[in-house]
A and B are shown apart, each in its own frame.
Chain A
Amino acid sequence: MAEISFPLPDLGEGLLEATVLEWLVKVGDQVERNQPFVEVETTKSSVELPSPIAGIVLTLHGEPGDVVLVDTPLITFVVADDSAGIVGTVPQEAAPKRRVRLSAVLDED
């Protein structure tokens, strides 16, 4: 198993921070990719953020009302080793390699 943290993304328009309104998941929850996990508010609007990966929630960085800075950790997931890339990056979704049998299969007929 491996841990992957995701920072608060740049929400655009030069915003540097956001306030946590409500966590939509709790520690120990299995979260699917693209499932919204938190509701945050900026000076301009409020939004739900979707999870970039599937995993189990290990840590929520901040309570409702806390200010989180862009590029600082927002959530940490535990993921299976084979789906973990370098910590802090989104793993590549490479197609599995296919083995091709080179020897001929003899026809029993």
Chain B
Amino acid sequence: MKTDLASALHWQQHEPALDAGLAPVLLLHGFASSTALNWDATGWVRDLTAAGRRVLTIDLLGHGESHAPLETDAYAPSRLRAAILEALALAGARPREAGDPASGVDLVGYSLGSRLVWELTAERPDLINRAVLGGMSGEDPLADFDLDAADRFLADASAIAHESTASLMTLMQLAPGANTPALLRLVAAIKQERFEPGASVPSRPLLFVTGDRDVLATGTTQLAALAADTETLWLPARSHTNAVSSRVFKQAAIEFLGR
């Protein structure tokens, strides 16, 4: 049966002026962010297209210009991944073929986007060439989010005792254009489908990139130890918020995906 999961997503293709003849690169942004904030304003789309890569960007459900459905089930990570794979197929991505450098897809994720990249790469080694995992956490900080405390906070500004819930709530409130009710539905769906990195491990080459002051992305070393073919880059003096625009990060990703 044909589904239309991808029609709820806002996705865009960005063509290079000079095509390097390599596989397209899909960018998946983080929680409470968007294509515009995570990849456009930080220079990623410009630098990748300047390197001759075709780029596909997708706003996750409830983010950016994508739909924000009211039912929590729509936000299940497994459904998000199915929708992303549909969008990839619609964009013309095709399985890897030996000797054809334009076949397959390369992935770059940040934060929650990296969780999806990990799972997609584990599920579809036939499609995905290489993946870059930025600001990735081994223990999903969203899964321990205190939804009741968040609801009380939104109702009457009651203080949130749980530390990571409080900092994620601040992130949502600060993020330009963030749809807080949709983000809370996504959190509820993630609590039902927690990230289990050991359940399915990518076999394709991975590059982990994490700021050395990132307190949200814990477990980079343990994640890298699970997979067979990995490299890790630590960005000096960078946090979860400001690692994404780092030039060193972008250059390392472009080099890694061009191999």
Q: Which A positions have Cβ atoms within 8 angstroms of B? A: 12-13, 21-22, 24, 36, 39, 41, 43-48
Q: Does chain A have a CB within 8 A of B245?
A: yes
Q: How far is the CA of A48 from the CA of B246 in the complex (A)?
A: 9
Q: Does chain A have a CB within 8 A of B219?
A: no
Given contacts A44-B175, A48-B245, 18 further A-B contacts (CB under 8 A): A12-B176, A21-B242, A22-B246, A24-B247, A36-B46, A41-B241, A41-B242, A43-B174, A44-B174, A44-B176, A44-B241, A45-B37, A45-B241, A46-B241, A46-B242, A46-B245, A47-B42, A48-B41
Determine if B41 and A47 form an interchain contact, defined as CB atoms under 8 angstroms apart: yes
- Bits for B165-196, please: 1 = Cβ < 8 Å to A, else 0: 00000000011100000000000000000000
- Bits for B218-259, please: 1 = Cβ < 8 Å to A, else 0: 000000000000000000000001101111000000000000
Q: Does chain A have a CB within 8 A of B43?
A: yes
- Band of interface residues on B: 10 to 19
Query: Which of A21, A22, A46 has the largest number of chain B CB atoms within 10 A?
Result: A46
Q: Which B positions have Cβ atoms within 8 angstroms of A? A: 33, 37, 41-43, 46, 174-176, 241-242, 244-247
Q: How far is the CA of A49 from the CA of B245 in the complex (A)?
A: 11
Q: How far is the CA of A41 from the CA of B37 in the complex (A)?
A: 12
Q: Which 8 A-B pairs have the closest CB atoms?
A: A46-B242, A46-B245, A47-B41, A48-B43, A41-B242, A44-B174, A13-B176, A39-B245
Q: How far is the CA of A77 from the CA of B230 in the complex (A)?
A: 43
Nearest-neighbor residue (CB-CB) of A44 within chain B? B174
List the A side residues contacting B245 at CB < 8 Å. 21, 39, 41, 46-48
Determine if A39 and B41 form an interchain contact, defined as CB atoms under 8 angstroms apart: no
Q: Report 13 cross-chain contacts, Cβ distance below 8 Å, ordered by A residue.
A: A36-B46, A39-B246, A41-B241, A41-B245, A44-B174, A44-B175, A45-B42, A45-B176, A46-B241, A46-B242, A46-B244, A47-B42, A48-B43
Nearest-neighbor residue (CB-CB) of B245 within chain A? A46
List the B side residues contacting A13 at CB < 8 Å. 176
List the B side residues contacting A44 at CB < 8 Å. 174-176, 241
Nearest-neighbor residue (CB-CB) of B176 within chain A? A13
Q: How far is the CA of A24 from the CA of B248 in the complex (A)?
A: 11
Determine if B43 and A36 form an interchain contact, defined as CB atoms under 8 angstroms apart: yes
Q: How far is the CA of A101 from the CA of B33 in the complex (A)?
A: 59
